[in-house]
Amino acid sequence: MPVTYNQNDANHFVNEAPTMYYSGKTAVPIYDLTSIQKMQIIRRGISKKYLEKLKITTSLDYDSLAAALSVTRSTLINKKGEEKFSDQISERIVSLADLYSFGYEVFEDQPNFNQWMFSPNQALGGLTPFSIIDNHYGREEIRNLIGRIAYGVYS
C-alpha cells in the first residue's frame, strides 16, 4: 500500500529515526518513498536535529558526514536544532539517508552495513563504498551494488 505524503507530515520524517518515514503508526523506509515525496521533504528542508540523528544511526562523525555530503565540517556544525540546511544540502542528506535506508533493509543489520561501507570492495576495484558516495554517481553505484547483493549477485 503506497504511503501518501503531505506538507504536514514533514515532521514525521524529521523527528523520528532518520532512515524511516513515519505516517501515523506506519513506518516506511525512506527508500520506499516516491521521488515526489522525497522532493517535498527536501523542499521543506532538513534540520540540524535530523542530521544529528542520522549521524548517530550511521555511526559517522562530522568529518565523515562532511566528506559524504561534499560540504565543509563547519557548514554542518554551525546549524543549531531546528535550523534548516539549504535545498542543495538537504537533498544530499536525504540521498544519504535513502542509501543507508536501503542498505539497512538489504543487510538486515545496521552495524554490519555500517562496517561494509568502510570495507574495501572488489566490485569497486578495492575502493570502499563510503569513499565514492560524495556525489550522485557514486551513491548511484553503491545503490546498484546493494541491489545486486539483495538479489544474490556476487558483488
Residue matched to cell numbers 542498505: 103
Burial 49-84 (b: 16+ CB within 10 A, else e): bbbebbbebbebeeebbbbbbebeeeebeebeeeeb
The per-residue pLDDT for 32 is 85
CA 39 to chain centre: 14
How many Cα neighbours within 13 Å face the side chain of 14? 21
C-beta of residue 30 within 8 angstroms of C-beta of residue 38: yes
The predicted-structure confidence for 86-103, as pLDDT tens digits, reads as follows 999 999 999 999 999 999
Q: Which of 38, 49, 131, 132 is nearest to 91 (CA)?
A: 38
This prediction has a pTM of 0.84
Tell me, what amino acid is at 122?
Q
How many other CB atoms are found less than 10 A from the CB of residue 99? 24
Asked if residue 123 has pLDDT above 50, the reply is: yes
Predicted pLDDT of residue 16: 53
pLDDT (tens digit, 9 = 90+) per residue, 71-85? Answer: 999 999 999 999 999
Q: Nearest CA to 35 among 105, 88, 85, 94?
A: 94
